[in-house]
Chains A and B, each alone.
Chain A
Amino acid sequence: MTKARGQVAIVGAADTAVGKITDLDCQALCAIAAEKALADAGLTFADVDGLVTCNAMSQPFLYPAEALAEYLQIYPSYCVGLGAGGAAAVSVIQHAALAIEAGLCETVLITMADRLRSGLSREQARQMQSAAGHPEFETPYGPTAPALYALLAQAHMHAYGTSREALAAVAVTMREHAGLHPGAQKRDPISIDDVLASRPVASPLNVLDCSLVSDGGAAIVLTSAKRAPNLRQPPVLILGSGEGHHHEHLSGAHDLTRSAAVESGRQAYDRAGLGPKDIDVAGLYDCFTPVVLFLLEDLGLCPRGESGAFVLNGGIRLGGALPVNPHGGLLSHCHPGNPGSMFHVTEMVTQLRGQAGARQVPNAEVALVHAQGGTLSSHSTLILGSEATR
């Protein structure tokens, strides 16, 4: 993206309740998140002329964005349903910002929700599990989604001597952070020993190395940076973004220790005119503990091969060299599927506004969000700035 740095701003952001939600469907959750985000911005549905969402696995529609516009009874001139797995929620922001810059629309609502915990039928859950592998050359061997990430973890451990405890330390830190967020799904502290003693899933990963299964949704509102200062909240500027795509299926990966986050991150840094050292707080996709180690290295946030030591030394904790996921991430805050990284985005917005309370990173002015989909396949990076970075 963006033709000019900081031309588009996030002016509204909101989460729904997360965890177990039995009285609402995904479209209702999208509507609730949208209403809250618009109220946060001081806007109404009448101001929205762009709508972006992703499909909900538990309530799929052939054309999810059009179905949501119909549900909300809004009539956007820009309407997009996007699929890139976990990378979608960050990737859509790049698309939406481009549409605003190009003059296709002025105010874009991005809202998404899913109910992986309460909303999936047994058959949908089974299909989701087996959908992760290549249907002809992987799935017949019985790999689960955690197993695919376990293969990456094992490769990293072999290449760099990364310890099992380093993986566990990621989960421990996320839980510690979630304890400071009143809305997080899991808030009881855990130790490295708890992670190591939890139920084995796919070696070396145990249950506590795996993200939560949640219901929930979140929304943000984007508009031009020119219009943003007249709204209710301090704007959060989009300074740069990037994407990277190397493979879809793990057996098609060219390198098991390095992902396309390298290219995605480089684009975002270049467009923002910033580097890894400028990042005050990061929202990193953490569906399984090894992903955080890969992303720290691929995004240049710590030296290659040293992410294990970085995490064990408290580097990603609040108060550490680079606080990661102060809301608790997918591992402890919530993971409702494709909308998962929306919560990383809303948390970075909260941090850059200085509204994060007990988990606030002091003087946070530049934040990075990175989401990935597939098996470290599709990558999307966003660099956000507070008003001071304008």
Chain B
Amino acid sequence: MSADGYILPRVTPLSATYWEGCRNGELRLQHCLDCGHVQLPPRSHCTRCRGNRLEWRASSGKGRVESFTWIHIPLAEAWADEVPYAVALIRLEEGPMMMSNLRHCSESQLAVGLEVTVIFEARGETIHLPQFRPARVEATAPEEMKS
């Protein structure tokens, strides 16, 4: 847990490069040098061809919302001031699906198919959490905006 109470990711030796990328403003994905498959979470082997020649490359950070929910009863106290907060499944341009939060997005704007782009939010000293915002800024009244 971080000082502000958020639950922090448990980093493993395999994922250290992913989180290092996040600290540098880069969403990194594993690319298979044998079959071209792109994957997340990081693994020791390619899940398509089982090869182990994997290379980290930066993602474009662009994707689309596949599903979403606005959470009214938070997972832990740290999220209590943010309710409702949006959790979404995002299909990245390169192929993998990931879970994330939608930031700077109104309830009326969030929909399946919404184009989004990655941003990074510092959670303590070492973790910069990849999150997303709408790719196009909508002309909404400021009071409708969710941080």
Using a CB–CB cutoff of 8 Å, the interface residues on chain A facing chain B are 126, 129-130, 133-144, 146-147, 150-152, 154-155, 158, 199-205, 250-251, 253, 256
Contact = CB atoms under 8 A, between A and B. Distances in A.
Interface residues of B, number: 38
Contact of A201 (B8, B12, B72): B72
A129 B7 CA distance: 12
Interface in B42-92: 66-76, 78-79, 84-85, 87-89
Nearest to B97: A251
B123 interface: yes
Nearest to A253: B97
Contacts, number: 112
A154 B76 contact: no
A152 B87 contact: no
Given A203-B70, A250-B99, A251-B98, A140 B129 contact: yes
A256 to B, nearest CB: 6
Contacts of B129: 140-141
- A-B CB proximity, top 8 nearest: A150-B69, A155-B67, A200-B72, A136-B9, A203-B70, A158-B112, A142-B75, A251-B99
B15 A136 contact: yes
A66 B34 CA distance: 48
Contacts of B15: 136
22 contacts: A129-B75, A130-B7, A136-B9, A136-B15, A137-B98, A140-B8, A141-B99, A142-B75, A142-B78, A143-B69, A143-B71, A151-B68, A151-B69, A151-B88, A152-B67, A158-B112, A200-B72, A202-B70, A202-B71, A204-B69, A251-B98, A256-B66
Interface of B: 6-12, 15, 40-41, 66-76, 78-79, 84-85, 87-89, 97-101, 112, 123, 127, 129, 131
Contact of A203 (B11, B41, B84, B89): B84
B69 A137 contact: no
A144 B73 CA distance: 8
A151 B85 contact: no
Given A135-B10, A158-B112, A251-B97, A140 B123 contact: yes
Residue of B7, B15, B67, B101 contacting most chain A CB atoms (<10 Å) = B67
A298 to B, nearest CB: 17
Contacts of A201: 71-73
B87 A143 contact: yes
A374 B132 CA distance: 26
A130 B5 CA distance: 13
B91 to A, nearest CB: 10
A141 B69 CA distance: 12
Contacts of A154: 67-69, 112
Given A141-B129, A142-B76, A151-B88, 8 more contacts: A135-B10, A142-B85, A147-B71, A151-B68, A154-B112, A158-B67, A203-B70, A251-B89
A262 B9 CA distance: 33
A155 B112 contact: yes
A203 B72 contact: yes
B67 A256 contact: yes
B89 A136 contact: no
A151 B87 contact: yes
A140 B121 CA distance: 12
Nearest to A201: B73
A150 B70 CA distance: 9
B69 A147 contact: yes
A201 to B, nearest CB: 5
Given A152-B67, A251-B97, A135 B75 contact: no
A92 to B, nearest CB: 30
Contacts of A253: 97
A206 to B, nearest CB: 9
A21 B45 CA distance: 48
B76 A130 contact: yes
B7 A140 contact: yes
Nearest to B8: A140
A173 to B, nearest CB: 24
